[in-house]
Structure 1
Amino acid sequence: MQTAGGATLSEDTQPDTDMAGNPERDDETPKRRPGLMLACYLIAAAAIGLDQLTKVLVLDNIDQGEPVRILGGLVYLSLTFNSGAAFSMFTDYTWVLAIVATCVVVFLIFLARRIVYPAWSIALGLVLGGAAGNLVDRYLRAPSNPGDPLDGDFAQGHVVDFISVFKPHGEVFAIFNLADSALVCGVILIVLLELTGRGFSPQSRSPRPEPEPEPGK
């Protein structure tokens, strides 16, 4: 049957085709979602704010040589200042660590713009917040007077650590802070996502093609 314009009704039911005559398909690749980027930034901001708030409270209320026992001895608030990286490594290269951390933070800020899956907004938000939380100490806290963010050499600040598990003074495990906790949780989540096939990009989640059967089988 033809319409008045000469087109058949059957043409209305056919899928659109491209210039090569192949049917066009909707793009099923997930697109970037600004809401997830914003969620990542908010999670990072919350981690930074909570980390800095607890550090200020500890500096104002706890003496460095007098740890506070809480949770029945499961946790001690044991104030210390770390010029190095995790586990007090590279203590003589504070400025190098600050530069490396800055590069990581900038990279994560731009990477967050490409998030398409909700779990990755949480993971990257935690990592970004943890890295930036300690970076604030690197740039603003002084080794000579850690309580005064305006005193001391630029990018030479010591990170405030205060959580010691099981025993004070880091006798069982290295003393850490909330920024470290956020960073570690974010990294663990990233590893779990990768191991379970939930990669960051849609391409990393594409099913692998099945091997072609050998001739004669």
Structure 2
Amino acid sequence: MKGVTRLGWLAYAVAAVTVALDQLSKAWILYGLELPARGSVPVAGPLNFTMVWNQGVSFGLLRADQDLMRWALALFAIGVSVVLAVWVRKAGRPVLAWALGFIMGGAVGNVIDRIRWGAVADFIDVSAIGFFPWVFNVADAAINIGIALLLLDMIRGEKRETSAKPTEDAA
């Protein structure tokens, strides 16, 4: 694609790898481990694999029990992904490219589930540690990592702009 920076391509690659890891992990959970039939499986320490079909947004917020909401959420996530895909074409900072790649990949991974099954397959359960009661998946983790990196990039950008401006005393 014409006009895509090297970092834009990096973001697209991060998104593609994220989608692949998300979908492969869900295939293994659903068909290899057969988690829907088993319910929950202890893994190590506070980590369990627990099958949850999430019809809402991240962590079960804004439930989408009706088909209309299912498709509305899918279309919204696709729209966000398209906006990010256009934005990242001109990415000039590595952290921004990684952030947008993770968010795009996570959004697409969950959209695939919503379209295929009408809900998102969540299975990573660390509720045993007590303060995080939600069950999530690789796509959700990628979205959250992407948002954290996006915030970091914004903070770093603001610091660079502030330090680049001359002070009144120096003028």
TM range (shorter): 0.7 to 0.9
Task: State the match for 2:70 in structure 1.
Answer: 94
| CA offsets 1:23-66 (integer angstroms, 9 cap, x no match) | xxxxxxxxx76211111100100000000000011001233353
Describe how 1:1-217 pairs up with structure 2 within 5 A.
34-60=5-31, 61-64=33-36, 65-72=38-45, 74-92=46-64, 93-139=69-115, 141-142=116-117, 157-167=118-128, 172-197=132-157, 207-211=164-168
| CA offsets 1:96-117 (integer angstroms, 9 cap, x no match) | 2112111100001101111111
Listed as ranges, the gaps of 5+ residues in structure 1 are 1-31, 143-156
Structure 1 residue matching 2:51: 3-state secondary structure: strand
Superposition TM-score, scaled by structure 2 size: 0.83
User: How many residue pairs get matched?
Assistant: 162
Provide the C-alpha distance between the structure 1 equivalents of 2:20 and 2:146, rounded to a whole number of angstroms.
17
- 8 Å Cα contact 2:127-2:134 kept in structure 1: no
Provide the C-alpha distance between the structure 1 equivalents of 2:60 and 2:27, rounded to a whole number of angstroms.
21
Listed as ranges, the gaps of 5+ residues in structure 2 are none
Provide the C-alpha distance between the structure 2 equivalents of 1:212 and 1:78, rounded to a whole number of angstroms.
60
Task: State the match for 1:154 in structure 2.
Answer: none
Structure 1 residue matching 2:89: 3-state secondary structure: helix
Provide the C-alpha distance between the structure 2 equivalents of 1:109 and 1:46, rounded to a whole number of angstroms.
15
| CA offsets 1:104-148 (integer angstroms, 9 cap, x no match) | 000011011111112211111111111111111122x22xxxxxx
Percent identical residues: 33
- 8 Å Cα contact 1:123-1:187 kept in structure 2: yes
Superposition TM-score, scaled by structure 1 size: 0.66
Q: Give 1 or 2: higher helix fraction.
A: 2
User: Higher relative CO (CA 8 A, sep ≥ 6), structure 1 or 2?
Assistant: 2
What amino acid is the match of 1:120?
Answer: L
**1:167 offset after TM fit, Å?**
3.1
